[in-house]
Amino acid sequence: MTQPAATWNEGLWHMLFAVGHPDLIAKQKRFQAEGIPPRCRLCMAPFGKLPVEGWTDEHPGPSNRNPRFCSLCDHFIRANPGGAKVTMTMVFADVRGSTALSEELQLEEYVRRINAFYRRTTSVFVQTDGFMMDVIGDEVFALYPPGFSGVSNADSEVAEADLAAFRTATAARKALTAARRLVEIGKSRAPNDLPFGVSVHTGVVYIGTIQGAEEGISDVRIWGVEVNKAARMCAQANPGEALVSPELCAAADLDPAELPERLLTFKGISHPVSVRVLA
């Protein structure tokens, strides 16, 4: 695997995720209104229904090398490797007690329940314009980059100079909505639904491409200490609650005093970290 060089196409990737690229936004708006999922992770082109006449540049089908992206976006990622540092909000949801459960249940039953958990959580991410939902073992997460999740109909009322900040706040509020809905789902779960905790955090993330060998897959990934922080917060959330970082409160304009405080201790960090609890 080749790691991206830090400065490759930085302006382009910053534009895509921090601000929003007008061409990509136009495509996303058009595609969101048509077809059925699954969709290209970048431009939202629908793959759920094959057009009779086959895929075209107007309606690109899934890339045969990487079906998470359409053929055009897959080509774009390959042609423009790189990435940028972008302040964005992340939402994590993580199954509690999964090790014990995987020993207790038949593997098929465990996988069935993980699939149900994945369906319930990702539908919330889709409804709130989350980007790049992904699963790592028994944990799912979504990103809310301003240039993607922060784009809204209210944009037209905002001055050009304030647009990036406006979209950052919009995206953070959508992520907070996702966390609240996940808490509701977690609280109303049926006996066979897996218990899970949630975290929502805003911080600087390096978002960029990762590419394998010549014919291998390409993908967009995130790196950074803030990603680890969000994951570690999630690991300390009780079932049916979301832990909210002070950075998210500031980004989403949420008064932290409205929520109870909890102090978390992280391995390797000497001072306790203060978070707020949504339950």
State the nearest-atom distance from the C-beta of 78 to Zn ion, in Å.
13
CB-wise, 20 or 186, nearer to Zn ion?
20
CB-wise, 70 or 244, nearer to Zn ion?
70
With a CB cutoff of 8 Å and minimum separation 6, the contacts of 84 are: 10, 11, 12, 13, 14, 17, 18, 206, 207, 208
Amino acid identity for residue 110 in this structure = Y
Helix (H, G, I), strand (E, B) or coil at 134: strand
CB-wise, 42 or 182, nearer to Zn ion?
42
**For residue 83, what are its two tokens?**
């990435």
CB-wise, 61 or 150, nearer to Zn ion?
61
State the nearest-atom distance from the C-beta of 72 to Zn ion, in Å.
5
State the nearest-atom distance from the C-beta of 32 to Zn ion, in Å.
12
CB-wise, 76 or 110, nearer to Zn ion?
76
Q: How far is the CA of 200 from the CAs of 79, 89, 139, 265, in angstroms? A: 33, 7, 14, 17
State the nearest-atom distance from the C-beta of 35 to Zn ion, in Å.
12
Please state whether 258 falls in left (phi above 0), alpha (psi between -120 and 50) or beta: alpha
Pairing label, strands 218-223, 83-95: unpaired
Residues that bind Zn ion (CB under 5 A): 40, 42-43, 45, 70, 73
Q: How far is the CA of 266 from the CAs of 228, 263, 271, in angstroms? A: 11, 10, 8
**For residue 78, what are its two tokens?**
């390959």
State the nearest-atom distance from the C-beta of 50 to Zn ion, in Å.
16
CB-wise, 44 or 251, nearer to Zn ion?
44
State the nearest-atom distance from the C-beta of 123 to Zn ion, in Å.
21
Pairing label, strands 218-223, 261-264: unpaired
State the DSSP code for 153: G
